[in-house]
Amino acid sequence: MSLDLIAAAILSRELYAILPFRRSNMPYANQPRVVVTELDDEVVKFIIENTSLSTANSLRRVFMAEVPTLAIDYVEFEQNTSVLHDEFLAHRLGMIPFTCDEVVDRLQYARDCDCDGFCERCSVKVTCSADCKDADTAQVTSQFMRTPEGSSVVPVSMKQRGNDEDYDNSNNDHILIVKLRKGQELKFKAFAKKGIGKEHAKWNPTCGVSFEYDPDNELRHTWYPKPEEWPQSEHTKLPRDEHQAPFNSMGVADRFFFSVETNGALSPENIILSGLAELKRKLTFAQSELMSVQNDVQNEALVIH
């Protein structure tokens, strides 16, 4: 390190500027703390402390947009005499969530698979065959979607709760796709593919990611014309009669309250772990791109024009 750098560092009291750049010296890379406050098979609530607002926001964005799931993406209709036309039905079918906890990691993206069309490594086949023979209106629900025998990928409403082998899921709320009159028939073959929420919202595994920080508005990131009109948050530290904490000019957004609710496709902990893995994968990819660019630059310099 040059002398003027050291002098400048000492003058500005930035001691970390003169030490070799290591993660432990980075004042930013402090040790975050995670506390899980609630966890069941539908929702996970947790608190992250000692991290920055941008990382917390990145987590929120990743849970919604970049966690891969399975959803129907290709439909071949054999027979459709229902009141809804083909693409209407195909759109509805795409929005049905499928349980894909263990499967989605093993599957490849269909565009990366070297098969011709679809195979077991990149897709899950879904079939349905429904018709109406009696005078009553028949309802075609997600219960009628059939996946290959023994596959763990089923529409979410058909998920086995608990360990009962003969669990009767007729009490579950099945997703209504279309209603059929006597004589109408619906028969199709579809393939569920892996994708992310960025591409289409059907691949979004969350029902909502709630993200809160600074519940008492200490940092004044927002301004209330009448603070008393606003209800207190559940994470507040103020007594009942106070509505806003006094302004803290040196405060930093530090504690983030997350609540991630799943639509059934993935279990809540898996959404979060998968999201973090995706983030690391993106960073690794970007870093390797940077390396290849650097190498290209060096090679470019050697080429004789």
- Judged by CB under 8 A, the chain residues 105 through 134 that form the site for another protein are 111-112
Residues in the chain: 305
- Considering the rule CB under 8 A, would residue 302 count as an interface residue with another protein? no
Q: Kindly state the number of chain residues that form the binding site for another protein, as judged by CB under 8 A.
A: 64
Does position 160 bind another protein by CB under 8 A?
A: no
Name the nearest CA neighbour of 194 among 74, 297, 35, 81. 74
Of 18 and 119, nearer to another protein (C-beta) is 18
Binding residue for another protein, selected from 33, 106, 121, 237, defined by CB under 8 A: 33
Q: Which of 3, 11, 13, 31 binds another protein (CB under 8 A)?
A: 31
Per-residue mark of binding to another protein, 35-54 (x: CB under 8 A): xxx-x----x-x-x--xx-x
Would you say 119 or 276 has its CB closer to another protein? Answer: 276
Of 7, 34, 176, 207, which lies in the binding site for another protein, with binding defined by CB under 8 A? 34
Q: 179 to 218, contacts with another protein by CB under 8 A?
A: 196, 198-199
Collapsing DSSP to helix, strand or coil, 68 comes out as coil
CA angle 283, 103, 86 (to 5 degrees): 100
Q: Which is nearer to another protein, 25 or 81 (CB)?
A: 25
Number of Cβ within 10 Å of residue 93's Cβ equals: 25
Q: Which of 6, 7, 10, 26 binds another protein (CB under 8 A)?
A: 26
With CA atoms as reference, report the closest residue to 174 among 154, 191, 189, 190. Answer: 154
Q: Which member of 81, 160, 210, 292 binds another protein (CB under 8 A)?
A: 292
Nearer to another protein (CB atom), residue 7 or residue 176: 7
Phi, psi (5° rounding) for residue 39? -155, 120
The span of 60-68, 138-146, 233-241, 248-256 binding another protein (CB under 8 A) equals 60-68
Closest CB 168 distance from another protein, rounded Å: 23
The three-state secondary structure class of 91 is helix
Spatial contact of 189 and 127, defined as CB atoms under 8 Å apart: yes
In this structure, the number of other CB atoms found within 10 A of the CB of residue 75 comes to: 19
The encoded tokens of residue 68 equal 């891969």
Return the number of the residue (137 or 284) whose C-beta is nearest another protein: 284
Cβ distance to another protein smaller for residue 62 or 96 = 62
Report 64-83 residues binding another protein (CB under 8 A). Answer: 65-66
In whole angstroms, how close is the CB of 2 to another protein at the nearest point? 7
Are the C-beta atoms of 95 and 219 separated by less than 8 Å? no
Output the CA–CA distances (angstroms, integers) from residue 79 to 86, 88, 148, 155, in the order listed: 10, 14, 21, 22
Q: How many whole angstroms separate alpha carbon 230 and alpha carbon 1?
A: 54
Is residue 161 a contact point for another protein (CB under 8 A)? no
**CB-side exposure of 18: number of CA atoms within 13 Å?**
14
At residue 278, the 3 state secondary structure works out as helix
Q: Do the beta carbons of residue 209 and residue 63 sit within 8 Å?
A: yes
Question: Which positions touch another protein (CB under 8 A)?
Answer: 2, 5, 9, 14, 16-17, 21, 23, 26-29, 31-37, 39, 44, 46, 48, 51-52, 54-55, 57-59, 61-62, 65-66, 111-112, 196, 198-199, 269, 272-273, 276-277, 279-280, 282-287, 289-294, 296-297, 300, 303-305
